[in-house]
Structure 1
Amino acid sequence: MVNWEERRQLVKIANLYYEDNWTQEQIAKKLTVSRPIISKSLQKAKDLGIVEFYINDETVQTVSLEKRLESEYNLKDALVIPSVDKKPELTLHSVGRSAAYYLSKNMKDIQSLGISWGQTLTSLVKEYPYELRENMKVVPLEGGMGRKKVEIHANQLAYELAKKMGGECSFLYAPAIVESEELMNRLRSMEDISEVIEEGRNVDMAVISIGNPYEHSTLKSVGYLEEEDVKELKKLGVVGDMGFRFFDQDGKPVHLPRDKRVVGLSLDDLKQIKQVVAVVAGNYKADSLLGMLKGNYIDVLITDDETAKTIIQKSG
């Protein structure tokens, strides 16, 4: 009996080999495994009845979506998870679990990992397996958000993930948004804060999620956005946010006065990171995710099939 993640991998390998005529060596290089593993996987796909004279599996639809996303947005990898009975909470859990599995299997040369905040990433951390990665350093990419929903703060997620890996973590001892630019400048001059922000800029991999400020907005629920703020964002053409930084439909940063008061990485900082993994659940985030894809911030995308379909439809 194989689990969903393994079955999806078998379908992907079979699709590349039989449909796209890739060699086993090419597939092995793409998936960063040895050629004998690809050979064994192709045989296993036959044994399970996935490959007959055609690829016969319900997972082929999600693999097709993955290929479209990888090609359209020059992604290193895409992982599309079937939605669970149109139930957002179950879909979020499924995406988080699959993202945890993906990270666990794809961090061979990663020694520093940056993590943002939010419910989707909280699901990922909860599902991440306990394993030994003693040389790993986990770094929060922005400050905290006060006392509400502490469990989804970047500091907390960095701590919980590092604990599961047996590694270390840094803490960003500052709010995500401070009261004044003067206070921001004072905080930046503090070694404990400036060093962690610099660590965040230089991580080997960043794991982020994306928000929609208009629908199911966590920023609104924790009091960081008021109704007047939301109206202003609409006027400015904002479609989404990442780590308290806002952007438009083309992924271009929309600069606000509050930007000078944000403790954390900018969108330009994010673009300089070697590998950015975006974990996004919920079709209502499609426009927000599309903006990030158009802005070329993302290297690996993990999302649900409804969101993937909407993105492909919108991109023509």
Structure 2
Amino acid sequence: MYSQEEMIRVSKMYYEMQYTQKEISEKLPYSRATISRILDTAYKQGIVEVKVNYPIDFVQSMEEKIKEKYALKKVFVLPVYVDDELLILNDVGRAAAKYLHEICCDNTILGISWGTTLAHVIPHLIPKKVNDMKIVQLNGGIAKNSISTGAAQILEKFSETFSTGYYMLPVPTIVDSEMIAQVITSDSSIEETINIGKKSNIAIFGIGSVHFNNILYKGGFFKEGAYEELISKRAVGDICSRYFKEDGTLADVELNKRTIGLQLEDLQQKEYSIAVASGKSKAESVIGALNGGYVNVLFIDEVLAAEILNENNTRGKYSESG
């Protein structure tokens, strides 16, 4: 619609020379409405980039307190200036994507889960070419109904970002019986993928909360009454489709035996076990994951951080509080 020359000229006048849209319209043969559309197009085409720099001093104390309280390697707390759930999640996802760009290197094995949170990391991934890198799916990603988990798309995007292939788990994450799970995981390709996941030095995942909007519930993985039973067992969250209580222990041993993918204890051995979460409602879930020792790098927003640090909501490590 507009030439690159037009967009650059108008953008430089508006952003660098500080002319108003009215002043630009007086100097160029465009109406104010056209100036506005040119600026919008320039932004969408990447000619103009808008960057908001946040002062971070006031969240650093939160980071240090959480890091010390749960003996973590690194904590990133993102400031919240606009109370918008998607905007906050995007900020957290952007920070996690930047960190991945920094730590992924030659011979890295990167394990990834799937879900709403990981989907908000995807748009911010920064291309990086590394040698002999492997990307592996940590838990089965096929739903039992028409709901899409988005697992394949997330895996493919990570693969494109790092210019490497990937190992997929093309199976349901939760099956009907332990015997079915054993049969599926005895398949050579599935077994190989799970073993590569165990060997991954970096794992990145979201932390799911236990509510009826959860993708595992909506994906048809629970028979009638089973999810309510899980709630009654005091499950507070899941990582890689494995449910835990607030003290970090498994919420349902039988369910865990029917779950396909990385075990929670495998996360305790990772060089980088990266959890990404946002929103006050995730506090109990994140606390359970931290108490279980399944996370050593944490990306959250300041509202969630404040809730985690609230002594009315958590006593820290259960081993310390009895």
TM-score normalized with structure 1 length: 0.76
CA deviation after TM superposition for structure 1 residue 110, in Å: 5.9
Select the residue among 259, 267, 274 that pairs with 1:277. 274
Q: 1:72 to 1:227 in 2, by over 3 A?
A: farther
Q: Which residue of 2 aligns with 1:111?
A: 108
Structure number with greater Rg is: 2
CA deviation after TM superposition for structure 1 residue 104, in Å: 0.8
Select the residue among 64, 83, 86 that pairs with 1:86. 83
CA deviation after TM superposition for structure 1 residue 84, in Å: 4.8
- Report the more deviating stretch, 256-265 or 289-298: 256-265
Structure 1 residues 192-241: Cα deviation after superposition (integer angstroms, max 9, x where no partner): 00000011011011101111112642222323346723321232111111
Amino acid at match of 1:160: K
**Percent same amino acid among aligned pairs?**
31
Select the residue among 143, 150, 155 that pairs with 1:152. 150
1:1-316 equivalences under 5 Å are: 58-108=55-105, 111-146=108-143, 148-150=146-148, 152-153=150-151, 155-214=152-211, 216-225=213-222, 228-313=225-310, 314-315=313-314
Q: Which runs of 5+ in 1 are unaligned?
A: 1-49, 51-56
Q: Which residue of 2 aligns with 1:43?
A: none
Q: 1:149 to 1:112 in 2, by over 3 A?
A: farther
Structure 2 counterpart SS, 1:71: helix
Amino acid at match of 1:77: K
Q: 1:60 to 1:216 in 2, by over 3 A?
A: farther
CA contact (8 A) 2:148 2:219 kept: no
Distance across 2 between alignment mates of 1:297 and 1:151: 23
Moved over 3 A (4+): 147-151
CA deviation after TM superposition for structure 1 residue 135, in Å: 2.1
Distance across 1 between alignment mates of 2:176 and 2:81: 41
CA deviation after TM superposition for structure 1 residue 134, in Å: 3.5
Structure 2 counterpart SS, 1:239: strand
Structure 1 residues 42-95: Cα deviation after superposition (integer angstroms, max 9, x where no partner): xxxxxxxx9xxxxxx841111111111111111111001122521111111111
Q: Which residue of 1 aligns with 2:11?
A: none
CA deviation after TM superposition for structure 1 residue 100, in Å: 0.4
CA contact (8 A) 1:213 1:219 kept: no
Distance across 2 between alignment mates of 1:275 and 1:258: 26
Structure 2 counterpart SS, 1:315: coil
CA contact (8 A) 2:243 2:256 kept: no
Structure 2 counterpart SS, 1:302: strand
Distance across 1 between alignment mates of 2:184 and 2:214: 27
Q: 1:104 to 1:148 in 2, by over 3 A?
A: farther
Q: 1:110 to 1:296 in 2, by over 3 A?
A: farther
CA contact (8 A) 1:241 1:288 kept: yes
Q: Which residue of 1 aligns with 2:17?
A: none
Distance across 2 between alignment mates of 1:109 and 1:224: 37
Distance across 1 between alignment mates of 2:265 and 2:62: 28
CA contact (8 A) 1:220 1:226 kept: no
Distance across 2 between alignment mates of 1:216 and 1:165: 32
Structure 1 counterpart SS, 2:120: helix
Q: Which runs of 5+ in 2 are unaligned?
A: 1-52, 316-322
Distance across 1 between alignment mates of 2:237 and 2:107: 28
Distance across 1 between alignment mates of 2:279 and 2:234: 21
Structure 1 residues 256-276: Cα deviation after superposition (integer angstroms, max 9, x where no partner): 433222111121222232320
CA contact (8 A) 1:136 1:162 kept: no
CA contact (8 A) 2:283 2:308 kept: yes
CA deviation after TM superposition for structure 1 residue 148, in Å: 4.3
Pairwise CA RMSD: 2.1
Structure 2 counterpart SS, 1:80: strand
CA deviation after TM superposition for structure 1 residue 137, in Å: 0.7
Distance across 1 between alignment mates of 2:193 and 2:66: 33
Structure 1 residues 142-168: Cα deviation after superposition (integer angstroms, max 9, x where no partner): 111336454632x43222101111112
Distance across 1 between alignment mates of 2:213 and 2:305: 19
Q: 1:88 to 1:215 in 2, by over 3 A?
A: farther
Distance across 2 between alignment mates of 1:168 and 1:123: 21
CA deviation after TM superposition for structure 1 residue 292, in Å: 0.8
Q: 1:176 to 1:213 in 2, by over 3 A?
A: same
Structure 1 counterpart SS, 2:135: strand
TM-score normalized with structure 2 length: 0.75
Structure 2 counterpart SS, 1:287: helix
Q: 1:266 to 1:132 in 2, by over 3 A?
A: same
